[in-house]
C-alpha cells in the first residue's frame, strides 16, 4: 500500500497540464501587471493597423511620460510621435531582425518634443514591437548634467579670465583650447593657434625641447605627469618672449590623453637677473668687466700646456696726481675716457677689464709675444692722445706689463699675477714703459713668493732671532743700553739680510707679526737679563718700529709686552725713522705722545737722511736723535759739519743723541768731543746673542768691558725694532 503522501502526488495528466498552463498564465499576468503599472519604464506596443503603425498598448508610465490618455495614444499614428522619423524612416527604428536603440525627440501631448532613448524590440513574427522609452533628461541626469555644466563653466571662466597663459590639448600636440592670456602673449588670434597652429609661435630652436617634454607628459600618465620646458615664443610682431611652459597630464575617460600647459613669461625676470649679473661682474663707472669676470674669463679659456692666451696689465702713471689736483670727478672722467679708448683699440674678442683703481687688464686669445707687445704699444699710443680735463690738457701714460702663456703656467691666476709683476717691473724701470715678463723675471718673482711663504712660517715658528748691540754713554764709557737687531738664518739659503726680509715683510703684510715678535722677544730677554744679572742688566733696549706699525694699536702692543714680562716702561725705547714720522706727522705725534705717556722713550732713527721738517721735529714728543752712520763715517774724511750740526740741534731742543756706526776709536773720541750723548758701533761692541750679551754685561760689571774684543761684522746692519 502506498503512503498517503504519494497518493496525493498522483495527478491525472490532463489535470497537470491544465494546472501548469494556469501557472504560466498567472506568471504572465503578474509580469504584465507589473509592466503595466511600472513607474520605472515607459513601455508601448506598436503594430500596423490600417496601413500605419499604431500604439496598440501602453503602460501607465508611458502615459505619464508623454501626457496622452491611453485612448489618444492608440488613436494617433505612431509616426506622429516621432517627427524626426518622417518620410518612411520609421522602418529604421522598427526593424524585423534586431533590436534598435535610438535617441529621438518624441512629441508629447503638449506639442513639446522630449528627447528620449527609444529601444524597439521586435516580437516573433516581425509585425509587432515593444518599445521602451526613457527620457534622456530625467531628474538625476538633469542634476548631473547641471553639475557637469557648472563645472565646465567654472573651469572655462577660470581659464578664460586667468592672467596665466594656458593651453589645453586633448590629442597629442593638437590644442582644443587656448585662453585670452596666451593669445595676448603671442599676439595671435585663438583660431590660428588651435590644432598645431600654436607650434608656429615656438622658436624653431626650442620646438624640439617643447615637444619632447610634452611627449614625456603624454606618455607618462600618473607616474610622470608633469614636466616643463624653457622656450622662446615668437610674437606676431617678431619680438621674442622667453617662457617656461609647464605641462600636466590630462586624461579624459573615453577620449584619451592630452595636456594642460601653463606658460610663465620670464623675459622680465631674466632681464633683471642679467642686469644683476652684469652689475656683479662689471665696473659701474666704466662699464668694463670687473676683476671677478676677468678671473672667470681667463679661467674659462685657460688650458694648461696651451700657449694661446696673453695678458696685458696697465697701470696709469700719476693718476693720483690727477685725483688730488683736479678732483675725483675728473679722475673718474679720465678713467671712463681711457676705458673707451682701450675698448676701441683692442681686437674683437679681446677682453678689457678694470682690475681696480687705475689698473686695467686686457686678455687676448691666439696671440704670441710679438702680437701682444704690438697690441700693448697700440694701447700705449691710444692712451697718450691728449685729453682735456677741467680746462687742463693731459697726456695720460701707463706702465704696461705683458705676459704670454707658457707651458710653465699651471693655473689661470698665474697668468694675471705674472703680468701684474711685469707691470711693476715696468713701473720700477721708469714710467710709461712696456715690460714683457721673461722666464728669469718669472723665476725671480716665484722665488720671492716662496720666500714670503717661508718668512711667514719663520715668524710663526719664532725662527727670527735677535742680536743685541750695546750702546755706550759718552759720559762714563759704560754700556747703558742695547739695540735689538732681527736676524733670519734660513735652513737652506743661510743668513738672509734684514735688507731683504724686512721690506719683504712690509710688502706682504707680515711686518706686524714680525714687529710683535721682536717687541716680545726683546722684553722677554730684558726680563731674563734682570733675573741673571740683576743691576748689571742693560738699563734699556731700543726696538725699531716700521712705519706700517705706527698706528693706534702700537701703544697697546707695547704696554701689553711690558706687562707680560713685568718690565717698567722706561726699559724700552722705540726707534722710528724720520720718513715714517713724516708720512702723517699729526697721527705720528698722537701715537708718540701715547708712548711717552706710557713712559717709553722715543728716538728718531737715521736722522738727517730724510726730509724732516724742523718745525714738526720741534713739536714731536721725542727724546733722542740717532745720527746716521753715513754722517759718522764722514768724520774720518775730516767732515764733521753735519754730525756737529745734528748734535747741536738736538742739544738746543733738549734731546739726547746716539751716534751710530762708530768704527774707530778716533771717531769715538771725536763724537764725544762734539757732545754726542751715546755711541754705538762695531769698534765698541758688535751685536751679541742674548746669552753672549749676558756674559758681556756681567764682565763689564766686573770692570772688564773695555777689554771686550771687537767682533768685525762684514755686513752693514739694518735695524729693525
Looking only at the bridges linking them, the beta strands covering 479-490 and 100-107 are: unpaired
Ranges assigned E (strand) in 327-448: 351-356, 359-365, 387-389, 392-394, 398-404, 434-436
Closer CB to another protein, residue 191 or residue 438?
191
Minimum Å gap between C-beta 137 and another protein is: 12
Three-state DSSP class for 176? strand
Least separation in angstroms between residue 368's CB and another protein is 49
**Interface residue with another protein, options 219, 276, 392, 428 (CB under 8 A):** 219
Grid cell locating 629: 752712520
Confirm if 623 and 655 have CB atoms less than 8 A apart. yes
Tell me the closest approach of the beta carbon of residue 252 to another protein, in angstroms.
9
Window contacting another protein (CB under 8 A); options: 194-202, 410-418, 631-639, 656-664? 194-202
Grid cell at residue 39:
513607474
At CB < 8 A and 24+ separation, what contacts does 682-686 make? 682/710, 682/711, 682/712, 682/713, 683/710, 684/470, 684/472, 684/710, 685/469, 685/470, 685/472, 685/479, 685/710, 685/711, 686/469, 686/710, 686/711, 686/712, 686/713
Q: In terms of CB distance, is 95 or 448 closer to another protein?
A: 95
Residues contacting another protein: total by CB under 8 A: 41
Residue with Cβ nearer another protein (56 or 136): 136
Quick check: 397 and 432 in contact, CB under 8 A? Answer: yes
Minimum Å gap between C-beta 278 and another protein is 37
* Distance separating alpha carbons of residues 666 and 502, to the nearest angstrom: 33
121 binds another protein (CB under 8 A): no
Q: Show contacts with another protein in window 146-185 (CB under 8 A).
A: 170-174, 176-177
Contact track, another protein, 49-88, x by CB under 8 A? -----------------------------------x--xx
53 or 323: CB nearest another protein: 53
Burial class (CB in 10 A: 0-12, 13-18, 19+), 461: exposed
Q: Closest approach of Cβ 193 to another protein, in Å?
A: 10
Residue 233-272 contact track with another protein, rule CB under 8 A, x = bound: --------------------xxxxx---------------
Please enumerate in sequence order all residues whose Cβ is within 8 A of that of 192, keeping only pairs 6 or more positions apart, or say none. Answer: none
Contact region for another protein (CB under 8 A) — 205-213, 634-642, 646-654, 690-698?
Answer: 205-213
- Least gap, CB of 178 to another protein (angstroms): 9
Q: Please count the helices (runs of H) and the strands (runs of E) in the chain.
A: 27, 26
The C-alpha atoms of residue 643 and residue 634 are separated, in whole angstroms, by 9
**Close Cβ partners of 543 (under 8 Å, ≥ 6 residues apart):** 484, 518, 519, 522, 572, 573, 574, 575, 721
Stretch touching another protein by CB under 8 A, among 187-195, 348-356, 398-406, 619-627: 187-195
Q: Which is nearer to another protein, 202 or 647 (CB)?
A: 202
**8 Å CB contact between 694 and 529:** yes
Least separation, in Å, of the C-beta of 241 and another protein?
21
Among the listed residues 73, 65, 79, the one whose alpha carbon sits nearest the alpha carbon of residue 114 = 65
Residue 301 CB, nearest approach to another protein (Å): 37
DSSP bridge partners of 313: 361, 401
100 lines the binding site for another protein (CB under 8 A): yes
User: Using the rule CB under 8 A, is 328 a contact of another protein?
Assistant: no
User: Which 3 state secondary structure label does DSSP give 400?
Assistant: strand
Ranges within 656-685 binding another protein (CB under 8 A): none
- Tell me, rounded to whole angstroms, the distance of Cα 277 from its chain centroid: 9
As measured in angstroms, the least distance from the Cβ of 136 to another protein is 7
Please state the closest distance from residue 57 (CB atom) to another protein, in A.
25
Among residues 113 and 548, whose Cβ is nearest to another protein?
Answer: 113
Residue 194 makes contact with another protein by CB under 8 A:
yes
Residues that bind another protein (CB under 8 A): 84, 87-89, 91-92, 95-98, 100-103, 136, 170-174, 176-177, 190-192, 194-197, 199, 208, 211-212, 215, 218-219, 253-257
Amino acid at each position: 500500500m502506498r503512503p498517503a503522501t504519494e497518493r496525493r502526488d498522483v495527478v491525472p495528466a490532463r489535470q497537470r497540464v491544465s494546472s501548469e498552463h494556469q501557472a504560466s498564465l498567472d506568471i504572465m499576468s503578474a509580469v504584465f501587471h507589473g509592466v503595466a503599472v511600472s513607474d520605472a519604464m515607459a513601455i508601448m506596443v506598436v503594430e500596423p493597423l490600417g496601413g500605419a503603425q499604431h500604439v496598440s498598448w501602453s503602460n501607465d508610465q508611458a502615459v505619464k511620460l508623454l501626457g496622452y490618455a491611453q485612448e489618444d495614444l492608440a488613436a494617433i499614428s505612431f509616426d506622429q510621435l516621432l517627427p524626426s522619423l518622417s518620410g518612411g524612416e520609421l522602418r529604421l527604428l522598427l526593424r524585423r531582425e534586431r533590436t534598435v536603440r535610438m535617441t529621438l525627440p518624441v512629441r508629447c501631448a503638449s506639442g513639446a518634443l522630449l528627447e528620449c532613448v527609444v529601444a524597439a524590440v521586435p516580437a516573433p513574427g516581425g509585425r509587432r514591437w515593444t518599445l521602451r522609452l526613457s527620457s534622456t533628461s530625467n531628474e538625476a541626469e538633469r542634476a548631473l548634467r547641471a553639475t557637469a555644466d557648472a563645472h565646465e563653466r567654472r573651469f572655462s571662466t577660470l581659464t578664460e579670465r586667468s592672467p596665466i597663459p594656458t593651453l589645453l590639448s586633448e590629442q597629442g600636440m593638437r590644442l582644443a583650447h587656448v585662453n585670452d592670456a596666451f593669445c595676448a602673449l603671442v599676439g595671435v588670434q585663438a583660431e590660428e593657434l588651435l590644432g598645431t597652429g600654436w607650434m608656429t609661435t615656438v622658436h624653431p630652436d626650442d620646438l624640439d625641447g617643447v615637444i619632447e617634454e610634452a611627449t614625456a607628459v603624454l606618455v607618462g600618465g600618473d607616474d610622470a605627469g608633469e614636466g616643463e620646458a624653457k622656450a622662446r615664443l615668437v610674437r606676431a610682431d617678431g619680438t621674442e618672449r622667453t617662457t617656461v611652459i609647464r605641462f600636466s597630464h590630462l586624461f579624459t575617460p573615453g577620449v584619451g590623453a592630452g595636456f594642460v600647459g601653463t606658460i610663465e613669461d620670464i623675459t622680465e625676470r631674466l632681464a633683471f637677473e642679467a642686469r644683476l649679473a652684469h652689475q656683479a661682474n662689471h665696473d659701474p663707472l666704466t662699464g668694463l668687466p670687473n676683476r671677478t669676470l676677468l678671473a672667470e674669463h681667463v679661467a674659462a679659456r685657460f688650458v694648461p700646456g696651451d700657449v694661446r692666451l696673453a695678458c696685458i696689465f696697465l697701470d696709469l702713471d700719476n693718476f693720483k696726481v690727477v685725483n688730488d689736483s683736479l678732483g675725483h670727478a675728473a679722475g673718474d672722467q679720465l678713467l671712463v675716457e681711457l676705458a673707451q679708448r682701450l675698448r676701441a683699440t683692442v681686437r674683437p674678442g679681446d677682453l678689457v677689464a678694470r682690475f681696480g683703481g687705475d689698473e686695467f687688464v686686457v686678455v687676448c686669445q691666439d696671440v704670441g709675444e710679438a702680437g701682444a707687445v704690438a697690441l700693448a704699444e697700440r694701447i700705449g699710443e691710444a692712451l697718450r692722445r691728449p685729453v682735456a680735463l677741467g680746462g687742463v690738457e693731459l697726456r695720460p701714460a701707463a706702465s704696461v706689463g705683458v705676459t704670454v702663456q707658457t707651458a710653465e703656467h699651471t693655473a689661470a691666476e698665474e697668468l694675471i699675477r705674472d703680468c701684474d709683476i711685469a707691470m711693476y717691473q715696468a713701473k720700477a724701470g721708469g714710467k710709461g714703459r712696456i715690460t714683457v715678463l721673461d722666464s728669469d723675471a718669472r723665476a725671480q718673482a716665484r722665488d720671492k713668493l716662496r720666500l714670503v711663504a717661508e718668512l711667514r712660517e719663520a715668524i710663526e715658528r719664532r725662527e727670527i732671532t735677535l742680536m743685541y748691540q750695546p750702546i755706550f754713554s759718552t759720559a762714563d764709557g759704560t754700556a747703558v743700553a742695547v739695540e735689538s737687531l732681527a736676524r733670519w738664518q734660513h735652513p737652506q739659503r743661510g743668513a738672509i739680510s734684514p735688507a731683504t726680509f724686512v721690506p719683504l715683510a712690509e710688502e706682504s703684510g707680515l711686518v706686524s707679526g714680525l714687529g710683535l715678535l721682536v717687541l716680545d722677544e726683546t722684553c722677554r730677554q730684558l726680563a731674563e737679563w734682570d733675573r741673571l744679572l740683576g743691576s748689571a742688566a742693560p738699563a734699556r733696549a731700543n726696538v725699531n718700529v716700521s712705519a706700517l706699525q705706527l698706528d693706534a694699536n702700537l701703544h697697546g702692543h707695547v704696554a701689553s709686552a711690558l706687562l707680560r714680562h713685568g718690565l717698567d716702561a722706561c726699559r724700552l725705547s722705540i726707534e722710528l725713522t724720520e720718513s715714517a714720522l713724516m708720512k702723517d706727522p699729526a697721527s705720528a705725534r698722537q701715537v708718540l705722545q701715547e708712548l711717552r705717556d706710557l713712559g717709553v722713550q722715543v728716538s728718531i732713527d737715521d736722522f738727517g737722511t730724510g726730509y724732516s721738517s724742523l718745525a714738526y721735529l720741534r713739536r714731536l714728543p721725542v727724546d733722542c736723535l740717532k745720527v746716521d752712520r753715513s754722517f759718522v763715517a764722514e768724520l774720518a774724511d775730516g767732515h764733521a759739519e753735519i754730525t756737529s750740526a745734528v748734535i747741536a740741534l738736538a742739544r738746543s731742543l733738549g734731546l739726547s743723541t746716539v751716534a751710530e756706526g762708530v768704527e774707530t776709536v778716533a771717531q769715538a773720541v771725536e763724537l764725544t768731543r762734539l757732545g754726542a750723548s751715546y755711541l754705538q758701533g762695531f769698534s765698541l761692541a758688535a751685536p751679541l746673542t742674548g746669552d753672549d750679551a749676558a756674559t758681556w754685561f756681567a764682565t763689564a760689571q766686573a770692570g772688564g768691558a773695555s777689554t771686550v774684543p771687537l767682533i768685525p761684522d762684514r755686513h752693514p746692519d739694518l735695524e729693525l725694532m
